[in-house]
């Protein structure tokens, strides 16, 4: 029955491949159940509260994506947005506690749901120029590869050059390079589950060498979640007006729109799901994120986003919602196995090779960019360059959206640009100059 629901044959996949893809995606993004509570606890939010809220938001958004959009794209609280929540919204304003800030997330989520029910975001995806779409895919590829290199400390901070080569004699670096070598060999042998097998082998090596341990055991009783910690939906809107959080709501809204849109385009192109300029069932896919964002704020987590780590599952062969059902199921189990998941996700050598390899696969989209046409190529180049350097998908998209219409106007081809691109060029320019990002 599930095979028919998810149309496995039409998408040229099978149950085994989808399950492996879901497990791979889960392993590459499981860190969020540890990292998100750590970051939001700096804003005063109880760790257990965020832990449960993170899983609830992830499961709801991911299952919506699975059953209504049938895409292998997982949804979870976004990195970067949680830091903005903790250190900019709450950390810089003594009058705004985390309860009020969650209310602002809720308000932006409601607006997000309304926009997702209209043709607006569908039109936006169609309006993005092809070269920018390819640039977004490649930029995300570089970004996640850089994350893998940075998490494993193959690349480290440098006082003069910003980044430099890490200590290759470090056990974590050596283990990461070993896992990367194993996975590359399996990829070269055209083994479909190469990334997944590489992670398992790396985990076994880590356990055998003592770098992976389960000191806190494997299971623990799940904490009881609280909800509507900002009071009520009405109170959330009242607080936004009372504390003047319009810029905060706008920032949450703008960044999540483009983080999710950019990520979905990148992963969909990688999976071959785009139909020309259109993404089928896009409205349901967009609703998955907006609903998860709204529900997540009710239970106590920062805004959600479509997760770029989904590309690791796509690289294994995931093409349908069965992949994301698997991801959601594993996150539900995480409620009971939090100590074990914390141990595995806390060792970057297991997941970093997958991120690096997937990044290289996504970079292939640069071949589709019209490099001979400077006004088409340079905006895409800005997207590719700024995503990894600013550690922000939305910022990279912003630079591309600003540069593309500007260059077309200079060349006298301003009429070829979709009106929505002009609108967001202005909005992005305003956000980069005047709002936190």
Residue pLDDT, tens place only, 368-377 = 899 999 999 9
363 in any annotated domain: yes
Q: Looking at residue 1, what is its pLDDT?
A: 67
Asked if residue 102 belongs to a domain, the reply is yes
Question: Is 47 part of any domain?
Answer: yes
413 CB neighbour count, 10 Å cutoff = 12
User: Which has the closest alpha carbon to 65: 242, 229, 258, 304?
Assistant: 304
Residue 235 domain-assigned (yes or no): yes
The reported pLDDT for the residue numbered 375 is 93
Domain count, the chain: 1
Torsion (CA) 150, 155, 159, 162 in degrees, nearest 10: -70
pLDDT above 80 for 275: no
Is 417 inside a domain boundary? no
Determine, yes or no, domain membership for 408. Answer: no
In this structure, the number of other CB atoms found within 10 A of the CB of residue 402 comes to: 20
Measured distance between the N- and C-terminal CA atoms of the chain, rounded to whole angstroms: 45
Quick one: average pLDDT of 65-73? 94
In sequence order, the 6+-apart residues with CB closer than 8 A to the CB of 326 are: 18, 19, 21, 22, 23, 25, 26
CA distance 372 to 366: 12
Assign 4 a pLDDT band (cuts: 50, 70, 90): confident
Residue 424 lies in a domain: no
Domain containing 216 equals 2-367
Q: What is the mean pLDDT of residues 312-327?
A: 92
Separation of alpha carbons 227 and 229, rounded Å? 5
The conformation of residue 369, written as its DSSP 8-state character, comes to S
Alpha carbon of residue 179 to chain centroid? 23
What length is written for the chain?
437
pLDDT higher than threshold 70 for residue 436: no
Can you give the pLDDT at residue 345?
Answer: 67
- Whether the pLDDT of residue 260 is over 70: the answer is yes
Mean pLDDT of all residues in the chain?
Answer: 87
Distance CA 335, CA 33 (A): 10
What pLDDT sits at residue 282? Answer: 82
Q: Which two tokens stand for residue 61?
A: 């958004």
How many whole angstroms separate alpha carbon 131 and alpha carbon 115?
25
Q: What is the mean pLDDT of residues 269-293?
A: 85
Residue 365 tokens, joined: 């989209």
Specify if 17 maps to a domain. yes
């Amino acid at each position: 029955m599930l095979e028919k629901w998810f149309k496995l044959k039409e998408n040229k996949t099978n149950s085994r491949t989808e399950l492996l893809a879901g497990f791979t995606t889960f392993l590459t993004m499981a860190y969020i159940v540890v990292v998100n509570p750590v970051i939001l606890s700096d804003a005063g939010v109880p760790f257990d509260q965020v832990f449960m809220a993170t899983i609830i938001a992830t499961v709801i958004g991911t299952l919506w994506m699975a059953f209504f959009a049938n895409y292998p794209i997982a949804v979870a609280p976004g990195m970067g947005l949680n830091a903005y929540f903790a250190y900019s919204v709450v950390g810089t304003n003594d009058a705004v506690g985390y309860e009020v800030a969650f209310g602002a997330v809720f308000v932006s989520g409601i607006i997000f749901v309304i926009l997702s029910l209209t043709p607006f975001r569908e039109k936006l995806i169609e309006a993005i120029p092809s070269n920018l779409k390819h640039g977004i895919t490649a930029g995300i590829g570089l970004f996640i590869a850089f994350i893998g290199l940075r998490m494993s400390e193959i690349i480290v901070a440098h006082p003069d050059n910003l980044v430099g080569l890490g200590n290759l004699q470090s056990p974590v670096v050596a283990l990461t390079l070993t896992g990367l070598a194993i996975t590359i060999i399996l990829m070269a042998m055209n083994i479909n589950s190469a990334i997944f097998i590489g992670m398992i082998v790396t985990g076994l090596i880590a356990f055998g060498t003592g770098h992976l341990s389960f000191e806190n055991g494997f299971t623990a009783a799940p904490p009881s979640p609280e909800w509507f910690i900002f009071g009520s939906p009405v109170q959330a809107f009242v607080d936004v007006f009372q504390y003047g959080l319009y810029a905060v709501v706008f920032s949450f809204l703008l960044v999540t729109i483009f983080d999710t849109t950019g990520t979905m385009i990148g992963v969909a192109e990688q999976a071959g799901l785009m139909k020309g300029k259109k993404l089928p069932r896009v409205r349901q896919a967009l609703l998955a994120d907006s609903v998860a964002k709204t529900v997540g704020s009710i239970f106590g987590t920062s805004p959600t986003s479509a997760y770029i780590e989904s590309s690791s599952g796509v690289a294994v062969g995931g093409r349908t919602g069965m992949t994301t059902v698997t991801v959601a199921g594993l996150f539900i189990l995480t409620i009971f196995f939090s100590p074990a998941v914390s141990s595995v996700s806390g060792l970057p050598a297991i997941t970093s090779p997958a991120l690096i390899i997937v990044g290289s696969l996504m970079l292939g989209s640069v071949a589709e960019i019209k490099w001979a046409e400077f006004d088409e190529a340079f905006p895409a180049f800005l997207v590719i360059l700024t995503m990894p350097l600013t550690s922000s998908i939305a910022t990279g998209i912003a630079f591309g959206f600003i540069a593309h219409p500007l260059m077309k106007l200079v060349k006298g081809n301003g009429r070829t640009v979709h009106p929505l691109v002009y609108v967001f060029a202005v909005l992005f320019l305003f956000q980069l100059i005047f709002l936190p990002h």
